[in-house]
Amino acid sequence: MCRHLAYLGPTVPFGDLLVDPPHGLVRQSWAPRRQRHGTVNADGFGVGWYAAGDPVPARYRRAGPVWADESFTDLARVVRTGALLGAVRDATERGADGAAAAAPFADGPWLFSHTGAVAGWPGSLAPLATTLPPVELLSLAARSDSALVWALVLHRLRHGDYRDRAGEALADTVRDVARAAPGSRLNLLLTNGSAIMATAWGDALYYRTGPGPRVVVASEPYDDDPRWCEAPERTLIVATPADVRLTSLKEPS
């Protein structure tokens, strides 16, 4: 099923968010508390983060379990950032794509992650795949449902009138995929380092603000702070450190 988290706020070592909390993302890789599908997230992991003055994020991704990577522990201790997206992976289908299949996926300023699974993959999304230009279809990051969903989102972000409406790009992609593959679980997470967009569709999603100007959106809380709020099912979240907006997503017709 996977677990993921995005953060915007004051500059901190990213271990403060992913490693040090009692139920942080690293612990969720082997002991998630609120994961409805699957039990262990050991098929890869990744973190993407933004440096001050650089709109293009850096990434560190690996194919194996995060708990086995000593380099990640060192990075988490010393790399500081005010914006990141981290994920641990439980693969829908085992494949040979290695780290390329691990979130976050990236393009330009964007970082993206998907937790869930596309029902009937891969055949169910064949009609949607044909709507992509051949160059985009041939440039898929990996042979996975998440990579194709990301390509569909990215196509919207690059074209048409979605350039300044990233939340709607997520929402419309979720509706299209849900229509083509009913029963899919489509919790999507997207950031450009200044805002976080996320969908709750088929699994739990939480958000937290404070203390101060910060916001976290995550598959599950990394501690028991009462400021965590669960997003209703079928919801789009658009969040900045100053504001969190929730919009109901209608069922596809």
Cα–Cα distance measured from residue 232 to residue 247, given in angstroms and rounded to the nearest whole number: 10
> Is the pLDDT assigned to residue 38 strictly greater than 90?
no
> Is the pLDDT assigned to residue 166 strictly greater than 70?
yes
Ramachandran assignment for 71, one of left (phi > 0), alpha (psi -120 to 50 degrees), beta (any other): alpha
Mean pLDDT across the chain: 93
Number of domains in the chain: 1
Question: Model's pTM, two decimal places?
Answer: 0.95
**Domain of residue 11, residue span:** 3-248
> Is the pLDDT assigned to residue 244 strictly greater than 60?
yes
* Mean pLDDT along residues 38-50: 87
Q: Looking at the domain assignment, is residue 152 inside a domain?
A: yes
Among 1, 2, 188, 216, the one annotated catalytic: 2
**8 A C-beta contact, residue 64 and residue 88:** no
Q: How far is CA 166 from CA 73, 86, 190, in A?
A: 32, 19, 8
Q: Looking at the domain assignment, is residue 253 inside a domain?
A: no
> Is the pLDDT assigned to residue 147 strictly greater than 80?
yes
90-104 tens-digit pLDDT: 886 666 578 999 999
Q: Looking at the domain assignment, is residue 156 inside a domain?
A: yes
Residue 130 pairs in a beta bridge with none
> Is the pLDDT assigned to residue 127 strictly greater than 80?
yes
Cα–Cα distance measured from residue 106 to residue 88, given in angstroms and rounded to the nearest whole number: 16
Q: Looking at the domain assignment, is residue 142 inside a domain?
A: yes
Residue 200 amino acid letter: A
Q: What's the burial of 168, exposed, middle or buried (CB within 10 Å: 0-12/13-18/19+)?
A: middle
> Is the pLDDT assigned to residue 230 strictly greater than 70?
yes
Angle of CA points 41, 43, 46, to nearest 5°:
85
For residue 67, what pLDDT is reported? 92
2 among known catalytic residues: yes
**CATH code, 90:** 3.60.20.10
The reply to whether omega before 109 is within 30° of 0 (cis) is: no
**8 A C-beta contact, residue 118 and residue 124:** yes
